[in-house]
Amino acid sequence: MTDTPEHQDENSSAPLFAAPPMAEQERMVEAMLFASADPLTVASMASRMPHGCDAAEAVQHLRRRYEGRGVQVVRVGEAWAIRTAGDLGFLMQNEIVETRKLSRAAIETLAIIAYHQPVTRTEIEEIRGVSVSRGTLDQLIELNWIRFGRRRMTPGRPVTFVATPEFLDHFGLESARDLPGLAELRAAGLLDNRPPPGAAALDAGEEDEEADDQTELFEEE
């Protein structure tokens, strides 16, 4: 209660122990977001602010304040960050980080994981029609763009892959729902897990495959 910031006394008519005025809270959020290269959650900001502050509201104020400016307050999953405006990239030649060029396999695998998450390796292979090399997934994990998700509660309990907040951050996406064309793909049924016809009929020695197919049946993408 008593750890209110020392410097808000000038024009604060608020009682001594109340939360700082919203303008002051906005300054705090501004300072924290500027100081961090990684997105910050509202909770982590709130934990550093004096009691009674509303970090979520302060972020909204701040976001509006930076509309149209050279830097922007952007949402990244559950967190917030400040990033330079996309149209000013040409000024930042010195800051460009050269990244290893991704192989076509890696790019496709990444897209499949992002759009189909959580998705098993078998499913990725079925979509691409080829086996996924270990190196491809390793590379994406190393880039911190994908991570292991929950295991499927199906025979074999296969591990799944999901996209990370860093992936969202890298591609400037607020959430996985904002993936380009997601709604159209879903409407066209292209994100459905459609089992090959007759999968259930192939009974005898094919226990494993059947299990995988059923996974697809029951897990809504």
Partner 1 sequence: MADPEQFSAASTSVADRLAAEALIVDVDGFEGPLDLLLTLSRTQKVDLRKISVLGLAEQYMAFINEARALRIELAADYLVMAAWLAFLKSRLLLPPDPEDEGPSGEDLAAHLAFQLERLAAMREAAAKLMARDQIGRDFFVRGIPENVSRVRKVTYEASILDLMQAYARLRTRDEFRPYALDRDSVYTLEAALERMRGLIGLAGDWTDLERYLPDDWSSDPQRRRSATAGNFAAALELAKAGKVELRQSDIFSPIELRKAARET
How long, in residues, is the chain? 221
How far apart CA 5 and CA 2 sit, in angstroms, is: 9
Give least dist CB 82 to partner 1, A: 7
Give least dist CB 103 to its own copies, A: 28
Give strand ranges (E) for the chain: 40-41, 71-76, 79-84, 119-120, 146-151, 159-163
Q: Phi and psi (nearest 5°) for 159?
A: -75, 150
Give least dist CB 191 to partner 1, A: 5
- Angle CA 109–112–113, to nearest 5: 85
Question: 28-67: which residues touch its own copies (CB under 8 A)?
Answer: 28-32, 34-37, 47-49
How far apart CA 178 and CA 93 sit, in angstroms, is: 28
Give least dist CB 41 to its own copies, A: 13
Task: Provide the mask over 75-114, with x wherever binding to partner 1 is found by CB under 8 A and - wherever it is not.
Answer: ------xxxxxx-xx--xxxxxxxxxxx-xxxxx-xxx-x
Residue 208 in contact with partner 1, rule: CB under 8 A = no
Provide the binding-site residues for its own copies, judged by CB under 8 A.
Answer: 1-2, 4-7, 26-32, 34-37, 47-49, 68-71, 82, 84-85, 87-88, 90-95
